[in-house]
Structure 1
Amino acid sequence: MPGLIGELIEAAHRQTAARSAEVPLAEVERRAASAPAVRDFGAALRAPGLGVIAELKPRSPLKGPLVDPAAYRPAELARRYQAGGACALSVLAHTEGFGGRPEDLQAVREAVALPVMRKDFIVDEYQIAEARAYGADAVLLVVAALTGDRLAELYAYAEALGLHLLVEVHSEAEASTALALGAVNIGVNHRDLRDFSIDLGLTGRLRTQVPADRVLVAESGVRGPADALRLRADGADAVLVGETLMRSADPAAEVARLKDTQARRTLQEGS
């Protein structure tokens, strides 16, 4: 894939190659087998009201640092997200583009009781085994980042390790691919991979395509309660929010404001 996304995918390959040279897959799989029991990521997304998957990422490849790298403390931030009412956490483990590390998964998992997902451009089984070894409960697979049979192969490998999955799509065609795969949790990324523009209307359009028994997670471009309210009305079961929370002076309060969407929607419908 050309452009920035292609560069991020190539960086994921480099990071994985370097880490696997230090610790072989067999050893990572051994550690994964003895990791703490998986928390139910899927059930967390199905809880009543709008779920908030709060994301931890110190930088954005488009906008640069979101926090001072020296002040990035994943465990402390995770506890604040949990206090605000997040239903799950998304932890960036992509180093070159987002400044995260796989080790951050363990720090977050040990700090909170919420399900934890590895957010990354996952291109290899090694990343999935590594996620489980560090205590992750779920992984993200991006349809656009995987060609041929790799999406199905990685999905099956993650399931075999007991992990939950969030399959990310950017279009109707990719949603069809995710549904054919049997994906239960589908993430709708509003960011166009060609020009990086945001289309919040994509969630509503795909909700008509995705059966009601599948969980729909709205990703990217959620700037505050008004966006959350719109996405909830469009059929989103949860929103994944990163930059807005990372830039907030009070992340716990910001999560609570997003979660309050359900109460405000009820008030609007009754008025």
Structure 2
Amino acid sequence: MLDSLLAGVREDVAQRERAVPLGAVREKAASAPVVRPALPALEQPGVSLVAEVKRRSPSKGSLAAIADPAALARAYEAGGAAVVSVLTEARRFGGSLADLVAVRSEVGLPVLRKDFLVGEYQVQEARAAGADLVLLIVAALDDQQLGDLLALTRELGMEALVEVHDESELERAVAADARIIGVNARDLRTLEVDPGTPDRLVPLVPGDRVAVSESGISTAADVRRAAAGGARAALVGESLVTSSDPEAATRALVSAGLPGVS
């Protein structure tokens, strides 16, 4: 599945680059809005919430139409989310950079571009659209690519959520000096979710890094489990986008992550 996703992403990037060359995107990135620092938002006491704007996924199909992604993001912000994640991959997730631009203009929170980044063009695109963070998936990159894209991300003032799903990928993320490490319970090769993955890997994340638990989190109990394992943040999408009251759903998860809540 990951190979299929990456193949589609590369085709789409090549098409966009033919229409708008890299040089033009670099110029736009250089004049983008000032980056909102993500680390302070994720280093607050307890478990911070990264709330996601996601229309569909390869594993679950259609989740929510989300005609107004900015309105959903405002609900997340009102509910106490620390960061808004926006799926921008079009083929399998129904997202776009236009969604990110709309969200970034309407909330005061750091915004993550959630996509399958494979090269400089997408990192520059992200900054040009106003992203404050990007996702770098270790399984999709070799060590040279990971190091280069992480360095570029920081050169542009952004942070990277570096995603892993096994011990060897975690070792690579740490070696690359990732400051924010996402432990994904979903194996992107098979799309299967193993809730034990964060339980196993999060405690291995060095204490000077921010560990983010991803996938399989939908309830207050899930957030408390992430906290017990040492996660500093939790990324949640499906349960929020399908909620009839996303602000209240966000607030409930945020409250579950506060220090002393059990």
Deviation at 1:96, TM superposition (A): 0.2
For 1:196 and 1:133, how far apart are their aligned partners in 2? 31
Output the CA distance in 2 between the equivalents of 1:260 and 1:85: 9
2:23 matched to which residue of 1?
26
1:115 Cα deviation after fit: 0.1
Query: Which residue of 2 is the match for residue 266 of structure 1?
Result: 260
CA distance in 1, matches of 2:191, 2:99: 27
Q: What pairs with 1:142-181 in structure 2 (closer than 5 Å)?
A: 142-181=137-176
CA distance, structure 2, for counterparts of residue 171 and residue 138 of structure 1: 22
> What is residue 128 of structure 2 aligned with on the other side?
133
Give the stretch that moved more between structures: 216-225 or 153-162.
153-162
The answer for unaligned runs of 5 or more in structure 2 is none
Normalising to structure 2: TM-score of the pair?
A: 0.96
Question: Which residue type is aligned with residue 107 of structure 2?
Answer: V
**How far does residue 158 in structure 1 lie from its aligned partner after superposition?**
1.3
Residue type at the aligned position of 2:11: R
Q: Give the fraction of aligned pairs with identical amino acids, expressed as a percent.
A: 48
Q: Does 1:52 align with 2:46?
A: no
Amino acid paired to 2:47: L
The Cα of 1:194 is off from its aligned counterpart by: 4.1
2:92 counterpart SS class: helix
What displacement does 1:192 show?
A: 2.2
CA RMSD of aligned residues (A): 1.3
Q: CA deviation at 1:258?
A: 0.6
Letter of the 2:24 partner, please give it: E
1:51-87 C-alpha deviation (Å, 9 max, x unpaired): 000000111112211113xx42111111011011000
Q: Which moved more, 1:179-188 or 1:204-213?
A: 204-213
- Write out per-residue CA displacement over residues 93-127 of structure 1, whole angstroms, 9 at most, x where no aligned residue: 10001000012111111000000010000001111
The answer to whether the aligner puts 1:78 opposite 2:76 as a matched pair is no
1:36 to 33, 36, 50: 33
Task: Assess if the C-alpha contact under 8 Å between 2:202 and 2:213 holds in 1.
Answer: no
Match of residue 184, structure 1, among 179, 182, 191? 179
Deviation of residue 207 (structure 1)?
Answer: 2.8
- CA contact 2:180–2:209 (8 Å) conserved in 1: yes
Task: Report if the CA contact (8 A) 1:155-1:165 is conserved.
Answer: yes
The aligned residue for residue 122 of structure 1 is: 117
Query: What amino acid does structure 2 have at the position aligned with 1:56?
Result: V
Q: Which runs of 4+ in 1 moved over 3 A?
A: none
SS in 1 for 2:212: strand
2:64 to 63, 67, 71: 67
- Once residues 262 and 10 of structure 1 are traced to their aligned partners in structure 2, the CA distance between those partners, rounded to angstroms, is 37
Structure 1 stretches lacking a partner, 5+ long:
none
How do 1:231-270 residues align onto structure 2 when only pairs under 5 Å count?
231-263=226-258, 266=260, 268=262
